[in-house]
């Protein structure tokens, strides 16, 4: 819902007539930890949190799956499916400009896949704040746009 609202707000200025949604661009599913502040995960779900921490320590945060949820790796797999849509739309309809409205983990995994960045890059890259804009132009990651 928040992503739709943001898209609608931006589209008041952009006036794009062909707006589409893709179900693969939803944010990471936090499963058991959804809507629970991170500092409380261990207190409320000690066994599940212990398993998550074990995975995180053994494989890294990128690959550690949240209990009943997803890992950033899982999100990256979904995002990769969306990239096929981008390529098909470009080939079929000549669409070469996109505005993608999504959430932080999804955006970072999109960049990771598009530019072949590493999981280490993902760990170092900060999650964007609300309504931050990331520009990709001429196959180059231009970073976040400062609107101030």
More confident of the two residues 66 and 11: 66
* pLDDT, tens only, 49-93: 999 999 999 999 999 999 999 999 999 999 999 999 888 888 888
Cite the beta strand spans of 4-147 per DSSP E. Answer: 134-137, 140-144
Asked whether the predicted pLDDT for residue 148 surpasses 80, the reply is no
In 15-101, alpha helices (H): 41-44, 46-59, 72-93
């Amino acid at each position: 819902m928040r992503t739709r609202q943001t898209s609608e707000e931006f589209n008041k200025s952009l006036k794009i007539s062909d707006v589409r949604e893709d179900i693969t661009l939803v944010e990471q599913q936090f499963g058991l930890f959804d809507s629970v502040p991170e500092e409380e995960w261990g207190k409320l779900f000690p066994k599940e949190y212990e398993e998550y921490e074990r995975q995180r320590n053994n494989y890294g945060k990128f690959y550690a799956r949240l209990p009943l949820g997803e890992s950033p790796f899982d999100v990256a797999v979904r995002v990769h499916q969306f990239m096929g849509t981008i390529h098909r739309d470009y080939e079929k309809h000549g669409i070469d400009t996109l505005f993608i409205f999504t959430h932080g983990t999804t955006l970072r995994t999109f960049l990771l896949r598009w530019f072949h960045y590493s999981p280490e890059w993902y760990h170092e890259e900060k999650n964007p704040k609300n309504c931050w804009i990331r520009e990709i132009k001429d196959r180059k990651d231009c970073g976040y746009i400062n609107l101030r």
